[in-house]
Amino acid sequence: MSFIIRCTDCGHEVVYHPLSNNCPQCNSQWREVVYDFEQAARALAQELPRRRFNLWRYREVLPIKNPIPELFMGEGGTPLIRAVNMGMMLGNMNIYIKDERQGPTASFKDRQAALTISTIKEAGLTEMVAASTGNVAIANSAYAARAGIKLWAFVTSLVPEVKMREIALYGSQVIKVTGSYDQVKQIAAEFAEKRGLFHDTGARAVTAVEGMKTIAYEIAEQLTEELGPREGTLPGQLRWRTPDWYIQAISGGLGVIGVAKGFREMKQMGIIDKVPGMIAIQAEGCAPMVQAWKLNLEEAAPVKNPKTHIETLATGTPGRSYQFLRKQMQNDGGLFESVTDEEAFRAMHVLAKMEGISSEPAAAAAFAGLFKLIHAGIIKPTDVVVVNCTGHTMPAEPLVLGNGWTRDVVLPQDQKPAQEEEGLLAALNRVAPDRFPRVAIIDDTADARRLVRRILQSQGDFTIFEASNGMDGLELVQREHPDLLILDLMMPEMDGFAVLDALRSNSDTAQIPVIVSTAKELTSEEKSRLQGQIQALLQKGDFMSDEFLEEVKALIH
């Protein structure tokens, strides 16, 4: 589908590239994806009946050329569940729960991750950085594992251990930072910048916003199924229903910004006739947006020391997200409200007891907000309400991971800015030294290269070079002098034997250890050709990742 990135500040348009975070004209980091909406509306009306119910069904309004089926895990397409018992209790029979727990990693961050990882894989990148209060890193880690992408996950030390373990379990490097979430974001940004890596910047990342907006498309489509088509709808026409309210707990604001964009797009395409009021719920101990909203301020002052046990909601610096959301609410209705931790925990219990839905505290905060606004008479008994319910991570078993799966960064406290800067860089160098062991992979099959890359990057730090044929591979080894070469034998034109002969006959490369990987059983003649030339033999389709990794580590150290 054709799309373009437009700068929110100056309107300048560019073609998307994941490594470019700023508008080339005015340097703004706030951009959005724009589509040919007329064409998209026509295509959707025609294609939707044939497509499965997952987020890729809206691909005409997603910033990807071709969705990548190998990465699919059932992202999007979550159920919309009517809350009958709770509805009876609260006197509103039109409360719907958008059950985002049913995504691959049990939070709505799966949408962001599925789209983000797909686009950076499409662009050929193999490493990325994300700062997270937990769920973003979990979702990105799962998709990164499938895509052969290494994720550096920066989290605050407040994130529950079970979540950190889950991130590590997927093979990402957890970087546990003792500091506020806002500091974590800063350190992650510097790390990404220093290493030239893709960085998922939340509300400023266009793929994150686009992923989130699919929630809006699904809700409109599902409500139409639930309540029947709107009056006067002709067969084959997309005329969907929208709720009166959409409620979600917010931290940085990405989710609601994305969902609102989805509704606005549908309105622009004539698919819906109104954008629902967005209701953003914050935890009382960290509610900068709510405070600013209630005082009718244009800017929200940061909360320096968030005081909430709900770490997922602990973004103290709202930045421009507040302004975008405020404008949204002023234009189409909606509001900000806060709830206490106790109210959230109580709502969590109610939701589980009354509806059989076990949520995490952050999601429960949205339900506490629903209760509060119904009691206040702001949400009326006949209003149609959709609440985002998300996040329910199973703990990763401590014994599976063993020790040493985080790297700890303790930021210097109470120091002058200059010293703080130095401390930060020193800390980053401990997280990842400038030089990792260097491994070259020569294999003509992309899948095989990805497998080896994934094994290496998921359980250790390596700088990885890849070549897809013997000639390029030989040149690569001569240029880069890797500490280890992993070499495929069967390749067209220059095969592994020839590469090996060339390496061994050149004094410059003769000493580089080589692991040969092969898909077929070797003849005795072939075996004797390799005798004394290689350090290990790897039978493709018959090896375990950890044994292979031990071999690699033994050869390098």
Ligand X SMILES: *Cc1c(COP(=O)(O)O)cnc(C)c1O
Nearest residue (CB) to ligand X, 348 versus 441: 348
Based on the shown chain and the rule CB under 6 A, indicate whether residue 351 belongs to the binding site for ligand X.
no
Question: What is the nearest approach in angstroms of ligand X to the Cβ of residue 136?
Answer: 6
Question: What is the nearest approach in angstroms of ligand X to the Cβ of residue 254?
Answer: 4
12 binds, among ligand X, Zn ion, none (CB under 5 to 8 A by kind): Zn ion
Angle at 123 between CA 117 and CA 124, to 5 degrees: 90
Based on the shown chain and the rule CB under 5 A, indicate whether residue 206 belongs to the binding site for Zn ion.
no
Structure tokens at 352: 């589980």
Question: What is the nearest approach in angstroms of ligand X to the Cβ of residue 140?
Answer: 12
Question: What is the nearest approach in angstroms of ligand X to the Cβ of residue 372?
Answer: 17
Give the pairing type, strands 173-178 and 127-132. Answer: unpaired
Sign of CA dihedral 82, 88, 94, 100: negative
Beta carbons of 313 and 365 less than 8 angstroms apart:
yes
Based on the shown chain and the rule CB under 6 A, indicate whether residue 360 belongs to the binding site for ligand X.
yes
b/e map 533-548, b = 16+ CB within 10 Å:
ebebbbebeeeeeeeb
Sign of CA dihedral 468, 471, 476, 477: positive
In 250-383, DSSP assigns E strands to: 277-283, 334-339
Structure tokens at 10: 């100056």
10 binds, among Zn ion, ligand X, none (CB under 5 to 8 A by kind): Zn ion
Q: Please report which helix (H) or strand (E) contains residue 538, including its range.
A: strand 536-539
- The Cα 163–Cα 316 span in angstroms is 21
Q: Mask 394-413, x = binds ligand X (CB under 6 A)?
A: --------------------
Nearest residue (CB) to Zn ion, 23 versus 362: 23
Question: What is the nearest approach in angstroms of ligand X to the Cβ of residue 388?
Answer: 7
Question: What is the nearest approach in angstroms of ligand X to the Cβ of residue 121?
Answer: 23
Question: Among all chains, which residue has been given the structure tokens 């088509």?
Answer: 229
Nearest residue (CB) to ligand X, 117 versus 254: 254
Task: Please select the residue that binds ligand X; options are 129, 216, 325, 362, rule is CB under 6 A.
Answer: 362
255 binds, among Zn ion, ligand X, none (CB under 5 to 8 A by kind): ligand X
Task: Please select the residue that binds ligand X; options are 44, 81, 363, 428, rule is CB under 6 A.
Answer: 363
Based on the shown chain and the rule CB under 5 A, indicate whether residue 138 belongs to the binding site for Zn ion.
no
Secondary structure class of 287 (helix, strand, coil): coil
Establish how many alpha carbons lie within 13 A of residue 548's alpha carbon, considering only the half-sphere containing its beta carbon: 25
Based on the shown chain and the rule CB under 5 A, indicate whether residue 5 belongs to the binding site for Zn ion.
no
Give the pairing type, strands 80-82 and 95-99. Answer: antiparallel
Task: Please select the residue that binds ligand X; options are 101, 109, 150, 199, rule is CB under 6 A.
Answer: 109
Both ends of the chain: CA-CA distance in Å? 49
Based on the shown chain and the rule CB under 5 A, indicate whether residue 7 belongs to the binding site for Zn ion.
yes
DSSP characters over 324-352: HHHHHHHHH-EEEEEE-HHHHHHHHHHHH
Question: What is the nearest approach in angstroms of ligand X to the Cβ of residue 151?
Answer: 17
Q: Helices 135-147 and 109-122 meet at what angle, rounded to 10?
A: 40
Q: Which of 464, 468, 461 has its CA nearest to residue 438?
A: 464
Nearest residue (CB) to Zn ion, 32 versus 480: 32
Structure tokens at 468: 């897809």
Nearest residue (CB) to Zn ion, 23 versus 344: 23
Based on the shown chain and the rule CB under 5 A, indicate whether residue 10 belongs to the binding site for Zn ion.
yes
Task: Please select the residue that binds ligand X; options are 391, 437, 470, 482, rule is CB under 6 A.
Answer: 391
Question: What is the nearest approach in angstroms of ligand X to the Cβ of residue 294?
Answer: 18
The one-character DSSP state at 102 is G
Based on the shown chain and the rule CB under 6 A, indicate whether residue 220 belongs to the binding site for ligand X.
no
253 binds, among ligand X, Zn ion, none (CB under 5 to 8 A by kind): ligand X
Task: Please select the residue that binds ligand X; options are 76, 171, 255, 496, rule is CB under 6 A.
Answer: 255
Task: Please select the residue that binds ligand X; options are 92, 94, 119, 135, rule is CB under 6 A.
Answer: 135
Give the pairing type, strands 3-7 and 13-14. Answer: antiparallel
Task: Please select the residue that binds ligand X; options are 254, 442, 456, 484, rule is CB under 6 A.
Answer: 254
Based on the shown chain and the rule CB under 5 A, indicate whether residue 12 belongs to the binding site for Zn ion.
yes
If one counts every other C-beta atom within 10 angstroms of the C-beta of residue 469, the result is 17
Beta carbons of 314 and 329 less than 8 angstroms apart:
no
Task: Please select the residue that binds ligand X; options are 126, 308, 312, 317, rule is CB under 6 A.
Answer: 312
DSSP characters over 196-236: T-EEE-GGG-HHHHHHHHHHHHHHHHHHHHHH-PPTTPPTT
- The Cα 210–Cα 254 span in angstroms is 10
Nearest residue (CB) to Zn ion, 12 versus 309: 12
249 binds, among Zn ion, ligand X, none (CB under 5 to 8 A by kind): ligand X
Establish how many alpha carbons lie within 13 A of residue 55's alpha carbon, considering only the half-sphere containing its beta carbon: 33
Question: What is the nearest approach in angstroms of ligand X to the Cβ of residue 316?
Answer: 12
Question: What is the nearest approach in angstroms of ligand X to the Cβ of residue 301?
Answer: 18
Binding to Zn ion in span 16-35, by CB under 5 A:
23, 25-26, 28
Stretch that binds ligand X, among 65-73, 167-175, 186-194, 252-260 (CB under 6 A): 252-260
Question: What is the nearest approach in angstroms of ligand X to the Cβ of residue 393?
Answer: 9
Nearest residue (CB) to Zn ion, 10 versus 446: 10
Q: What residues line the site for Zn ion (CB under 5 A)?
A: 7, 9-10, 12, 23, 25-26, 28
Q: What residues line the site for ligand X (CB under 6 A)?
A: 107, 109, 135, 249-255, 312, 360, 362-363, 390-391
